[in-house]
Structure 1
Amino acid sequence: MSGLRKFLTISVPAVFVAVLLVACAIELWVRAAWDERKGRPGFFLSDAIRGQRLAAGYDGWFAGVPVHINSLELRDPREYALEKLPNTFRILVLGDSVTFGHGSLYAHTYPYLLEQRLKAWRPDVDWQVWNAAVPGYNTSQELAQLVEVGDRFKPDLVVVGFFWNDLIGNQPVRPASRLWSAAVYASSFARRFLYSFEFYKRVYLTARWRLSGAKEDRLRAEHAEGDEALLAVNDAGALPQQKLTPFDRLTDDEVRHITCVYGMKPNPATVPAMQRDAGYPRWIEAVRGFQRLQREGRYRIVFFVNDTPPVCPDGDVFYDGGSKAIDDLYLRVLGEETPAATSYDAFLHVRPSQMPNATGHSIGNSNVVKADALFDFLRDRVLPHLTRAASGV
């Protein structure tokens, strides 16, 4: 037997079998140590265009709270038929982790609270508020998501939740090649069915960092550890801040008289600096993509800015400090051809001590303020026209 033939018929199969046995052993080890409370693996699946998507049917944890993703990839314990009743009014909510409800109980996310306010306002309407937000998304990914699911979901209104970091990392929405789509499908299969997928990912990224010593590789390895921590069982839902409790509301006159002696001062260079940022044109392009869909009559679109003023260091109040100019920039861009609302002014009328995580991943009362602000805007500015135009509503 020649050396090459021996290598191909004996050595290669032997190595393959050995690797397969080791992989099976690792998979069995990870499954044996798996915390059943975490549910199945695969909260995120790879997506050829959007980068990642939520896994339909996922039951597990994210950011310390239990999460269920239904068959339509919505954060919702309920299942829905795509067909609508004559009195159905469907609102599709897109966004990132802030809208998804990072660390928030499902029933306290602002899209769900919005649905409850709509039902109390018009109980004759079959209101459906679908939370399709995906943690980590930016505006271009949300645009790609709407292009993909919009025709199937047939929303009567699309609400795009915006947060300041949505300006980062936007890319043109382009179709994926067949080769890339196949690779992404294989990755998604591994994420969903291999319990050891994250183990291999962590080993690979750590080894790459150790060998290269590059800062970028170190950050990738640390980011992978952060992803695992987000999926850990850690019942943040029991925190007292999760509760919806009565809170103070300041009058317009009280807000006008707020002074923050030691707070930051307005800086006229802030907004121009944002507009000069290298990623700003890509964000504008993504926003214009939404507005083009509105102009073409394909969807009714509303932007909702999840914006909160800074907290005064010498008082239990939110204050301007130059942040209103940034909020005005968001509203000016987002509201050019589409209605745009913000939670900024609503937060000026409440106290930070009663608004947990208001400036980031809001929970509890902070989501009440957002739901109220969005509901008031939709009720007064958007829905009267749409509900009159909808058949049977």
Structure 2
Amino acid sequence: MLTRTFLIKMTVLCLVISMCLIVSEVFVRIVIDDGMEYNLEMWKYARKLKRVAKHSDQGHQHIPDKSAFLMGVNVKINSQGYRNKEISITPSQGVTRIMMLGDSLTFGWGVPSGETVSSRLENLLNNSRKDKSFEVINTGIGNTNTEMQVASFLDKGVLFSPDIVVLNYFINDAEPIPRPTKNIFMKHSAAYVFISLRWGSFKRLFFGGEQWFQYYNDLYNNENEGWIRAKDAISKLSKYSHSKGIKLIIVNYPELHQLTPYPFDQVTIKLKNVADEHGVQFVDLLP
């Protein structure tokens, strides 16, 4: 009798839990998801436009010829896996080819393709220099670090014979390579993604924990593996560029939460020192 009662209670409990999960999933997908919720849009981006790369040091890559509507704009990946117009392997005669390496900032998260950094730079250069022509290729992939970007360039980007390579650097580029999650809920549940990430922010706000500025500064401890690997990647990129006569530029993008006083001056100095060590031009965009 106890066994039968227990089974009935467990069945009811499972049904209640299942209904709660279903309702929360429907609520998040229909009510919360307005197409501009950052974490949900990044989750869709990973599901719809990315795949695991063949080489582990590249982490993930875009799926060629895929498109999606993300963060309020249409995103189209070309046949070469870039958010860019189709590109010929051989540059046109007389055209200076610039290749942009980077993460979601370079990719152009939340802006139309014509408003990405690469598109704006190409228009600016061609409108200001009537004696020269420029082609700027956007190879940015969201949620990548410097190690992944350099590995992808040395594997595929080099085939396009750029004259100039710009490594667009952001402070989180010293993070470790993100690996595919084994969490089935994180893969398939919008509600789980939304609630788990919001819960993490809630805990940091009300229960302490490492703050964002401390987290970023800690990435640049000399013993941090991510920073060590980022420096090694810059060294590899520099050696290749010098050997092929390619001009390499490192452009440092500021973290915009707080510009004055800027809490990451020491990070900028460390990055500039790496650039100087390898004879690479360094551009800091901090106003």
TM bin, normalised by shorter chain, reads 0.5 to 0.7
- The AA in structure 2 aligned to 1:63 is M
Change (3 A) 1:280 1:323: closer
1:62 pairs, out of 65, 70, 83, with: 70
Once the 2 structures are TM-superposed, how far is the Cα of residue 75 of structure 1 from its aligned partner? Answer: 0.9
Native 8 Å contact 2:174 2:220 kept in 1: no
Once the 2 structures are TM-superposed, how far is the Cα of residue 290 of structure 1 from its aligned partner? Answer: 1.1
- The AA in structure 2 aligned to 1:325 is Q
User: Which of the two has higher C-alpha Rg?
Assistant: 1
Alignment of 1:303-314 (within 5 A): 303-308=250-255, 310-311=257-258
Alignment of 1:311-350 (within 5 A): 311=258, 318-337=259-278, 338-344=280-286, 346=287
Change (3 A) 1:271 1:44: closer
Q: Which runs of 5+ in 1 are unaligned?
A: 1-36, 172-200, 207-220, 231-266, 312-317, 347-393
Separation in 2, partners of 1:85, 1:61: 32
Separation in 2, partners of 1:227, 1:113: 36
Correspondence 1:293 to 2:240: yes
Change (3 A) 1:327 1:271: farther
Native 8 Å contact 2:91 2:160 kept in 1: no
Between 273-282 and 54-63, report the one with greater CA deviation: 273-282
Native 8 Å contact 2:82 2:140 kept in 1: yes
Q: Which runs of 5+ in 2 are unaligned?
A: 1-34, 36-43, 195-213
Residues 336-377 of structure 1: CA deviation (Å, up to 9, x unaligned): 221111211x3xxxxxxxxxxxxxxxxxxxxxxxxxxxxxxx
Aligned length in residues? 219
Residues 230-262 of structure 1: CA deviation (Å, up to 9, x unaligned): 9xxxxxxxxxxxxxxxxxxxxxxxxxxxxxxxx
2:122 pairs, out of 108, 111, 115, with: 115
Higher normalized contact order (CA 8 Å, seq sep 6+, divided by chain length):
1
Change (3 A) 1:273 1:155: closer
Once the 2 structures are TM-superposed, how far is the Cα of residue 101 of structure 1 from its aligned partner? Answer: 1.2
Query: What SS class does the counterpart of residue 340 from structure 1 fall into?
Result: strand
Separation in 2, partners of 1:140, 1:52: 12
Residues 176-214 of structure 1: CA deviation (Å, up to 9, x unaligned): xxxxxxxxxxxxxxxxxxxxxxxxx99x734xxxxxxxx
Residues 77-99 of structure 1: CA deviation (Å, up to 9, x unaligned): x3232222221111011111121
Native 8 Å contact 1:310 1:323 kept in 2: no
**Cα RMSD after superposing both structures:** 3.4
Separation in 2, partners of 1:55, 1:141: 16
Change (3 A) 1:277 1:130: same
Query: What SS class does the counterpart of residue 124 from structure 1 fall into?
Result: coil
Separation in 1, partners of 2:231, 2:221: 12
Calculate percent identity across the aligned residue pairs: 21
Separation in 2, partners of 1:137, 1:321: 24
Separation in 1, partners of 2:191, 2:154: 27
Once the 2 structures are TM-superposed, how far is the Cα of residue 168 of structure 1 from its aligned partner? Answer: 1.1
Higher share in strand? 2
Q: Which residue of 1 aligns with 2:79?
A: 71
Residues 132-185 of structure 1: CA deviation (Å, up to 9, x unaligned): 1111111111111111123420101111111111101159xxxxxxxxxxxxxx
Once the 2 structures are TM-superposed, how far is the Cα of residue 62 of structure 1 from its aligned partner? Answer: 3.0
Q: Which residue of 1 aligns with 2:227?
A: 280
Separation in 2, partners of 1:294, 1:342: 20
Separation in 1, partners of 2:128, 2:144: 31
Native 8 Å contact 1:310 1:321 kept in 2: no
Once the 2 structures are TM-superposed, how far is the Cα of residue 308 of structure 1 from its aligned partner? Answer: 3.8
Query: What SS class does the counterpart of residue 92 from structure 1 fall into?
Result: strand
